[in-house]
Amino acid sequence: MDSILVTGNGPLNGDIPIAGAKNACLTLMPATLLSEDPLTLTNAPRLSDIKTMTALLQSLGAEVSSLNAGNVLAMSSHGLTTQRAEYDIVRKMRASILVLGPLLARFGYAEVSLPGGCAIGARPVDLHLKAMEAMGAEMDLRDGYVHAKAPAGGLKGGIVEFPFASVGATENALMAATLAKGTTEIRNAAREPEIVDLADCLRKMGAQIEGDGTSTITIQGVDRLGGATHRVVTDRIELGTYMLAPAFCGGEVTCLGGKISLLEAFCEKLDAAGISVEETDKGLKVARKNGRVQAVDVTTEPFPGFPTDLQAQMMALLCTAEGTSVLEEKIFENRFMHAPELVRMGAQIDVQGGTATVHGVERLKGAPVMATDLRASVSLILAGLAAEGETRVSRVYHLDRGYEHVEEKLSALGAKIERISGE
Ligand code: EPZ
């Protein structure tokens, strides 16, 4: 398994490109199953999760081009051979459940392996199943698979009411509703930019959708969807991650194509912590206002609140802030696994359930640490950029799921970082 070696090395300066959003692409790709016409995605990120979703769609008989130099994914599900998504692929990535809604809506039937949990939590899919039932489907759970069956005339429009704003369940319901007969209303829908991006793509395919980006989405079902070409929205989590690089190390970095509207709550916290963010025509220019980062309290919430996917990175920054910060993780039940690794680097963090209290220290010390999940891995790299000495982050396969060419992007800013293969 590869590891990454980082050496604390002073200020970072320059421009950093931001890729297309992993979490938008992972729902845009299954949307191809809704139509027999081709769907082409541009600005698709080159990540292992995208390769996994490609393998899953190909296992169903869809054609998916390999990401060529132009970051283009050309897809067609004209010749699907099965509606069964096998466990050996689904178990690698939870987002695989997002083929359920499209398959059920277009073919009236789907068999999808239950995804299983992951490091950050049990991550059940009960809300996905309830959404399909609200559209008339029968869901039968047996031998580790969801066996879903639509009514004889296909899915019917209905009311989908979520107890909390689940991103994936909203995406599954939205895709299924585009072909359901009649009107579907999704209440307490997730409002993330990736949901709006999916709705934009579905509208290009002929779907009738209103209210995406708000808590209530209304969909008027249509008989069929056509093909489209769609550009994947900028990855706001990669954006927020790299905005922190100059916050950790000093210097001035512009994240190309960044927009404050993708990350308002995050930018407000950066401002309170003493980090300036300026939107220019190139992107978001970020620098420390003066001297040391200031402690701030953070609570993760569904969009437009502070994103849970930036909690680990923010915790790493606050380890060397002036003062004490309290972080509350409200979305996942076990998303503080980066804390003990940061403590190995000299951080002072006290975790009690879903609350972490971080007492800022002057500077962290490099140490061998282990990545445990995607966002934890990048938080350790950021910490290593500013720590004294060398930090070696192992199990970086987690990193490759969501960050493209980290070492190249950070080296271009002046970071001392290299990948050690095969350790
Ligand atoms: C999406 O996961 C993202 N993944 C996650 O990003 C992100 O952290 C999460 O949304 C929250 O923003 C993708 O888009 C591929 P949820 P998802 O459904 O859809 C519980 C990353 O780092 N829940 O909003 O799985 C669930 O257990 C990843 O890129 C149920 O109880 O998130 C969690 O505690 C990590 N029942 C909470 O809701 C359900 O049926 C939020 O989950 C579904 C979810």
The whole-number pLDDT of residue 225 equals 98
Q: Which residues have a catalytic role annotated? A: 118
Could you tell me the pLDDT band of residue 367, with boundaries at 50, 70 and 90? very high
More confident residue, 283 or 114: 283
The whole-number pLDDT of residue 272 equals 98
Same fold: 3-18+234-420 with 22-231: yes
Strand 183-187 vs strand 208-210: parallel, antiparallel, or unpaired? unpaired
For the Cβ of 191 lying below 6 angstroms from any atom of ligand 1, the answer is no
More confident residue, 288 or 423: 288
The whole-number pLDDT of residue 268 equals 98
Q: Answer whether residue 120 shows pLDDT above 90.
A: no
Q: Which residue lies with its CA nearest to atom 8 of ligand 1?
A: 309
Please tell me the pTM assigned to this model.
Answer: 0.97
Tokens for 99, please give them: 């083929």
Residue 144: is it exposed, middle or buried by C-beta count within 10 angstroms (0-12/13-18/19+)? exposed
For the Cβ of 24 lying below 6 angstroms from any atom of ligand 1, the answer is no
Q: Answer whether residue 82 shows pLDDT above 70.
A: yes
For the Cβ of 168 lying below 6 angstroms from any atom of ligand 1, the answer is yes
Percent of the chain's residues with pLDDT above 70? 97
C-beta separation of 367 from 7 below 8 A = no
Q: Which residue lies with its CA nearest to atom 30 of ligand 1?
A: 124
Task: Name the residue among 77, 67, 112 with its Cα closest to residue 94.
Answer: 112
Distance 331 CA to ligand 1 centre (A): 8
The whole-number pLDDT of residue 118 equals 66
* Best of 48, 56, 128, 166 for a ligand 1 pocket test (most atoms within 8 Å of beta carbon): 166
Distance 38 CA to ligand 1 centre (A): 28
Q: Cα(213)–Cα(231) distance, rounded to whole angstroms? A: 18
Helix axes 311-318, 236-249, angle to 10 degrees: 10
Q: Over range 256-264, report the average pLDDT.
A: 96
The whole-number pLDDT of residue 387 equals 97
Q: Answer whether residue 47 shows pLDDT above 80.
A: yes
The whole-number pLDDT of residue 67 equals 81
Q: Which residue lies with its CA nearest to atom 13 of ligand 1?
A: 23
Q: Over range 287-315, report the average pLDDT.
A: 96
Residue 122: is it exposed, middle or buried by C-beta count within 10 angstroms (0-12/13-18/19+)? exposed
Sorted by where each begins, the domain ranges of the chain are 3-18+234-420, 22-231
Distance 117 CA to ligand 1 centre (A): 11
For the Cβ of 128 lying below 6 angstroms from any atom of ligand 1, the answer is yes
Q: Answer whether residue 333 shows pLDDT above 70.
A: yes
Q: Over range 255-279, report the average pLDDT.
A: 97
Q: Answer whether residue 423 shows pLDDT above 60.
A: no
For the Cβ of 121 lying below 6 angstroms from any atom of ligand 1, the answer is yes
Q: State the number of CA atoms in the 13 A half-sphere of 64 facing the CB.
A: 27
Distance 375 CA to ligand 1 centre (A): 13
For the Cβ of 332 lying below 6 angstroms from any atom of ligand 1, the answer is yes
Could you tell me the pLDDT band of residue 66, with boundaries at 50, 70 and 90? confident
* Best of 123, 171, 236, 241 for a ligand 1 pocket test (most atoms within 8 Å of beta carbon): 123
CATH of 3-18+234-420 among 3.90.1150.10, 3.40.640.10, 3.65.10.10, 3.40.50.1000: 3.65.10.10
Distance 363 CA to ligand 1 centre (A): 33
Q: What is the mean pLDDT of the chain?
A: 95
Name, in order, each residue with C-beta under 8 angstroms of 393's C-beta and a sequence gap of 6 or more.
3, 4, 6, 369, 370, 371, 377, 380, 381, 384, 399
Q: 22-231 belongs to which CATH class?
A: alpha beta
Q: Over range 7-31, report the average pLDDT.
A: 96
Per-residue model confidence as pLDDT tens digits over 193-218: 999 999 999 999 999 999 999 999 99
Q: Answer whether residue 9 shows pLDDT above 90.
A: no
| Phi/psi of residue 180, nearest 5 degrees | -75, 150
Q: Answer whether residue 122 shows pLDDT above 70.
A: no
Distance 170 CA to ligand 1 centre (A): 10
Q: Answer whether residue 102 shows pLDDT above 90.
A: yes
